């Protein structure tokens, strides 16, 4: 028996998990739809199972493009993410099956998962960037496949990720030049992160695009609301969370700027989420806010003595976020699937007709808003606890700016989920009576909800997966009185806030209906909205970035026009440096003379 188990376990421990998923993606194209989705669910589940089997260390070492690379690098962080991907990709595959997703789309989704798993298990910068770029391509294909509006959005998505990927590629090359190896742990027992200086800057920007750094985030709410609902479930979790992991790989010891940027993202994302009426767009802004918490956790490691705890908090939050964020996209997807409506003001009273979707939404919302008993409470609490120890810019109550940002983000999150739930499920009575979730969707949502609850209650099993567990687990008491009080205050503030600001919110959201159309006026009104603590400074930055992007886009789409404005060329004859024989020979003569002079006298 043991021998059989070992025989099964051995290939599982040595063959990189992305191979199964890639294989499933190919199979998907030839087998019938239902069988294909079953294979997909199995292949992705295998990723989760394998995560437990692969022992810690480096495997599948090989040479790739002429360099030492590691395709299977297993440490607590990669294991954590692989488990998360295993669970949610399986659920999402089932959800796709239940949502009439075409099988080609699921095949694209699987290739996207496969490259995600590749990034997670990469043990060196080279194979990481390889899978990273592949992720960009496959996810673009996933968006594109839906057609319609998604195509233009996917185009912008591709450009954003093309630029981000290239920046990161630059970082990797610079890193190699200074360290002379691509391995994460080059010459050291522990990974040392990306080389400081230019490499770190390029990496921060490149990964920042995928993380949705403020001003680099515009692709996020632009893209995720548009494709097929099942595609959104895939997209919503993997790109951004993988970016968090890679950010951790680049800055394993944290950084101050990362912590405060994370805090700012939490507030910024939550604020903009609050203004949305497209449910998937609202959720997309929350991705930015939640990634903010994760980065704050990872970044805080540099600021406090209990570094391991902060890092673990950030990664734990990423793990939990994978679970509840996809759950939320599933629940919202069911509503869109059944009603075809993408504006929550046209919905209402659905809790009676769609109780299952409502329950799933509720679990997701309670998790993301960090209500005790759900997994978000555990990990967000860890991040806030870590921020509690930061004493760099103390504000009120002796708490640091970072802490206040995270709390404010938390309140905003809570408010926006009350809003979303209120509009979708209550808010008058339903005049439509759509059916509830399909079987596949129910299974998928049950799976995801179950894990949200499980890790909220049995948090010990989450703790043991986290890095540096031995250092901090003994002191971690998530359900202490202090934490519960804090949570209660936070929740109360959220309720009060929503009650008070519901009307002004409606007005504000009315004038800021669509970020794409009215970004610039939105920024103008944002300036007035001091209530929300958004400063004019952000607005200015946002405006500048928006206009830069707009002018870059103009340059890209009509370069000759730009050249004409700068005074080169005319309408009739675009600039082309066309010279005749005489001038060509003149230049040639000078070049020969120059070359020989350099050779002789150099």
Partner 1 sequence: MITPIELMLFVFVLISAVATALFRDVLASIVVFAAYSLGLAVVYTFYRAPDVGLTEAAIGAGITTVLLLLTIAKTSRPAHEKIFEPINWPAVAVCGGFALIVSSTLFAFPSVGDPNTAAMTNPDVTVYYLENAYEETGVENTVTAVLAAYRGFDTFGEAVVVFAAGVASMIVLGREVFA
Partner 2 sequence: MTDGSVLGLITTRYAYLVVVFVATVGLYMMIANQNLVKKLIGLNMFQTGIFLFFITSAYVVDGSSAIVPADGAGGPFASPLPQVIVLTAIVVGVSLTAVGLALIIRLYAEYGTLRADALREVIADE
Partner 3 sequence: MSDVFLPLLVAIPIVLSVVPLIAGLRYERAGWPIAFVGSITVTAIAGYVAVTIASSGRLIHALGNYPQPYGIELVGDELSALVALLIAIVSLAVLLYARTAGPRGNAFYSGYLLLTGGLFGVALTGDMFNLFVFLEITSLVTYALVASDRTSGKAAYAAFKYVFLGTVGASMYLLGVGYLYVATGTLNMRDLQEAIASVGYGDPIVQAAFGFILVGFAIKVALFPLHTWQPDAYTYAPDSVSAYISALVSTASAYALIRITYGVFTQSFLEANDLIVTAILVVASVSIVVGSLLALMQTEVKRMFAYSSVAQFGMIVAAIGLANETALFGAILHLLGHGLIKAGLFMAAGVLATAYGARTVTDYAGLSRRSPYAVGGMTLAGIALIGLPPSIGFLGKWFMALGAVEAGAWGVAAVIFASTMLTLAYVFRLVEMLYFRSPSAARTDESAAVEVPDASTDGVAAPDGGSIDRVTVAQVAIVVSIGITVIALGFSWELFADYLDPVLGRFFA
List residues near partner 3 by CB under 8 A.
65-66, 130, 133-134, 137, 151-152, 155, 159, 162-163, 166, 170, 173-174, 176-177, 555-561, 563, 568-569, 571, 574-581, 583-585, 587-588, 591-592, 594-596, 598-600, 602
Distance CA 133, CA 117 (A): 13
Within 8 A by CB and 6+ apart from 67, the residues are 124, 126, 182
Q: Does 582 bind partner 2 (CB under 8 A)?
A: yes
* Torsion of the alpha carbons at 481, 484, 485 and 488, rounded to the nearest 10: -160
**Which of residues 585, 591, 595, 597 is near partner 2 by CB under 8 A?**
585
Binding range to partner 1, per CB under 8 A, among 199-207, 314-322, 352-360, 584-592: 584-592
Binding mask 517-556 for partner 2 (x = CB under 8 A): ----------------------------------------
| Nearest residue (CB) to partner 1, 152 versus 583 | 583
Looking at the DSSP bridge assignments, the partners of residue 62 are: 69
CB of 208 to partner 3, least distance (A): 17
What is the phi/psi pair of residue 355, to 5°?
-65, -35
**Which of residues 8, 489, 499, 596 is near partner 1 by CB under 8 A?**
596
Distance CA 54, CA 76 (A): 11
| Nearest residue (CB) to partner 3, 7 versus 65 | 65
| Nearest residue (CB) to partner 2, 2 versus 576 | 576
Two tokens, residue 303: 């600021």
| Nearest residue (CB) to partner 2, 551 versus 584 | 584
What is the phi/psi pair of residue 68, to 5°?
-65, 125
Are the CB atoms for 413 and 369 separated by under 8 Å? yes
| Nearest residue (CB) to partner 1, 548 versus 589 | 589
Distance CA 164, CA 191 (A): 23
Q: What DSSP string runs through 52-112?
A: HHSPSEEEEEEEETTEEEEEEEE-HHHHHHHHHHHHHHHHHHHHHHHTT--HHHHHHHHHH
CB of 590 to partner 1, least distance (A): 5
**Which of residues 313, 338, 592, 602 is near partner 1 by CB under 8 A?**
592
E strand map for 374-453: none
Residue listed under structure tokens 């998907």: 28
Residues in the chain: 602
CB of 559 to partner 2, least distance (A): 22
CB of 588 to partner 1, least distance (A): 10
Within 8 A by CB and 6+ apart from 169, the residues are 129, 133, 206
SS3 352: helix
CB of 157 to partner 3, least distance (A): 13
What is the phi/psi pair of residue 71, to 5°?
-90, -15
**Which of residues 573, 598, 599, 600 is near partner 2 by CB under 8 A?**
573
* Torsion of the alpha carbons at 237, 117, 109 and 283, rounded to the nearest 10: 0
Q: Does 586 bind partner 2 (CB under 8 A)?
A: yes
Distance CA 286, CA 375 (A): 16
Q: Which does 130 bind (CB under 5 to 8 A by kind): partner 2, partner 3, partner 1, none?
A: partner 3
CB of 145 to partner 1, least distance (A): 48
| Nearest residue (CB) to partner 1, 65 versus 581 | 581
Binding mask 542-581 for partner 1 (x = CB under 8 A): ----------------------------------------
| Nearest residue (CB) to partner 2, 431 versus 573 | 573
Q: Does 26 bind partner 1 (CB under 8 A)?
A: no
Distance CA 283, CA 183 (A): 36
Are the CB atoms for 456 and 367 separated by under 8 Å? yes
Distance CA 401, CA 396 (A): 9
Q: Which does 575 bind (CB under 5 to 8 A by kind): partner 1, partner 3, partner 2, none?
A: partner 3
CB of 599 to partner 3, least distance (A): 4
DSSP 32: -
Binding range to partner 1, per CB under 8 A, among 43-51, 313-321, 544-552, 590-598: 590-598
Distance CA 404, CA 388 (A): 9
Binding range to partner 2, per CB under 8 A, among 196-204, 411-419, 458-466, 573-581: 573-581
Q: Which does 559 bind (CB under 5 to 8 A by kind): partner 3, partner 1, partner 2, none?
A: partner 3
Rg (CA), the chain: 25
CB of 585 to partner 1, least distance (A): 9
Q: Which does 573 bind (CB under 5 to 8 A by kind): partner 1, partner 3, partner 2, none?
A: partner 2
Distance CA 354, CA 425 (A): 8
Q: Which residues bind partner 2 (CB under 8 A)?
A: 573, 580-582, 585-586, 589
Q: Using CB under 8 A as the criterion, which residues of the chain lie in contact with partner 1 when the complex forms?
A: 582, 586, 589-590, 592-593, 596-597, 600
């Amino acid at each position: 028996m043991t021998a059989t188990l070992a025989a099964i376990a051995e290939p599982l421990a040595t063959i990189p998990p992305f191979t199964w998923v890639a294989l499933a993606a190919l199979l998907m194209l030839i087998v019938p739809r239902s069988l294909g989705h079953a294979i997909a669910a199995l292949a992705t589940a295998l990723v989760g199972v394998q995560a437990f089997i692969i022992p810690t260390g480096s495997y599948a070492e090989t040479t790739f493009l002429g360099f030492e690379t590691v395709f299977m690098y297993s440490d607590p962080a990669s294991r954590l993410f692989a488990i998360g991907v295993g669970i949610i990709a399986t659920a999402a595959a089932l959800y796709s099956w239940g949502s009439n997703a075409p099988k080609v789309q699921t095949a694209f989704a699987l290739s996207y998962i496969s490259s995600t798993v590749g990034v997670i298990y990469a043990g060196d910068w080279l194979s990481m960037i390889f899978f990273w770029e592949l992720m960009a391509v496959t996810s673009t294909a996933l968006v594109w496949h839906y057609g319609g509006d998604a195509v233009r959005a996917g185009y912008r998505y591709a450009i954003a990720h093309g630029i981000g990927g290239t920046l990161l590629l630059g970082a990797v090359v610079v890193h190699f030049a200074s360290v002379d190896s691509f391995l994460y742990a080059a010459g050291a027992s522990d990974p040392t992160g990306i080389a400081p200086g230019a490499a770190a800057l390029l990496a921060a920007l490149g990964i920042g695009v995928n993380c949705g750094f403020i001003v680099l985030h515009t692709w996020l709410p632009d893209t995720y609301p548009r494709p097929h609902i099942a595609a959104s479930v895939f997209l919503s979790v993997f790109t951004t969370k993988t970016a968090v992991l890679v950010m951790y790989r680049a800055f394993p010891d944290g950084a101050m700027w990362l912590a405060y940027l994370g805090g700012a993202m939490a507030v910024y994302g939550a604020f903009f989420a609050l203004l949305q009426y497209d449910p998937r767009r609202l959720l997309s802004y929350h991705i930015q806010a939640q990634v903010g918490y994760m980065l704050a956790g990872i970044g805080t490691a540099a600021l406090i003595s209990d570094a391991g705890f902060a890092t673990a908090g950030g990664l734990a939050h990423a793990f939990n976020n994978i679970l509840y964020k996809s759950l939320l996209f599933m629940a919202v997807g069911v509503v869109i699937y059944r009603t075809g409506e993408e504006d929550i003001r046209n919905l209402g009273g659905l809790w009676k007709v769609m109780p299952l979707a409502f329950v799933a939404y509720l679990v997701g919302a309670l998790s993301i808003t960090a209500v005790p008993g759900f997994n978000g409470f555990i990990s967000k609490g860890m991040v806030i606890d870590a921020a509690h120890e930061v004493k760099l810019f103390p504000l009120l109550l002796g708490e640091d700016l970072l802490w206040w940002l995270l709390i404010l983000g938390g309140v905003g999150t809570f408010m926006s989920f009350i809003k979303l739930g209120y509009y979708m499920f209550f808010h008058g009575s339903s005049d439509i009576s759509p059916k509830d979730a399909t079987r596949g969707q129910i299974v998928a949502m049950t799976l995801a909800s179950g894990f949200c609850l499980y890790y909220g209650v049995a948090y010990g099993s989450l703790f043991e997966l986290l890095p540096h567990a031995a250092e901090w687990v003994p002191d971690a008491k998530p359900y202490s009185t202090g934490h519960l009080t804090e949570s209660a205050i936070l929740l109360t503030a959220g309720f009060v806030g929503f009650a008070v600001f519901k009307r002004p919110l409606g007005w504000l959201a009315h004038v800021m209906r669509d970020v794409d159309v009215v970004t610039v006026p939105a920024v103008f009104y944002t300036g007035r909205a001091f209530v929300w603590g958004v400063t004019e400074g952000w607005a200015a930055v946002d405006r500048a970035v928006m206009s830069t992007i707009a002018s870059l886009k103009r340059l890209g789409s009509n370069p000759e026009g730009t050249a004409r404005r700068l005074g080169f060329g005319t309408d009739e004859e675009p600039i082309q440096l066309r010279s005749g024989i005489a001038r060509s020979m003149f230049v040639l003569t000078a070049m020969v003379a120059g070359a020989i002079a350099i050779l002789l006298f150099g």
